[in-house]
Amino acid sequence: MQNINLVTSTPGYPKANGQAESSNKVVINCLKKKLKSRRGRWAEELLLVLWADKTTLITPTGQTPYFLVYGCETVIPVEVHMPTSRYSLNNIEVNNSLMQDSLVLTEELRDAAKIRIASYQQTVARRYNKNVKIRVFKEGDSVLRKVFPNKKEKTAGKLTP
């Protein structure tokens, strides 16, 4: 029998890489802000909060999550039932040609979003590392280390070389 290690910290497994917890935290905080005194009506507000979460510009990418997935901007529900001039002046042929152009540009916009994310991460790392003090240790210096109760070493103290 082969030893197979299942690595679950991948983008396809958001439960393990923290994305599920992060997005749930955002949704819960938005629900708390929306509800305040109406605690029992969270089910009615959930769709609105999810809509707002998916259609709000994200700072690192400069795009909405909806746009990055589907390649087009969202239409608010009011515009579906009550056509505005933005949608009533378009015909099917013009709309199809615009959608084809949009699909071509979608990959470029996703690449630009990736570049922007990398730049944003470098900025965050620079700000975080600004306060980090570099310390160089030599062999024999006493350092604070974690002691595990199951280890039975004679030199297993908190401060040991």
Same domain as 121, residue 74: yes
Query: Can you tell me the mean pLDDT for 4-32?
Result: 68
Tell me the residue range of the domain where 106 lies: 57-127
Residue 98, domain member (yes or no) = yes
The model carries a pTM of 0.47
Smallest Cα–Cα separation from 105: which of 64, 74, 76, 68? 68
- The number of domains in the chain is 2
The whole-number pLDDT of residue 27 equals 82
Residue 119, domain member (yes or no) = yes
Alpha carbon 99 to its chain centroid, in Å, reads 27
**What percent of the chain shows pLDDT beyond 70?**
69
Contacts of 50 (CB under 8 A, 6+ apart): 27
Q: How confident is the model at residue 122 (pLDDT cuts 50, 70, 90)?
A: very high
Task: Find out whether 68 and 55 touch, Cβ atoms under 8 Å.
Answer: no
Same domain as 123, residue 69: yes
Query: Can you tell me the mean pLDDT for 104-124?
Result: 86
Looking at the chain, how many residues does it have?
161
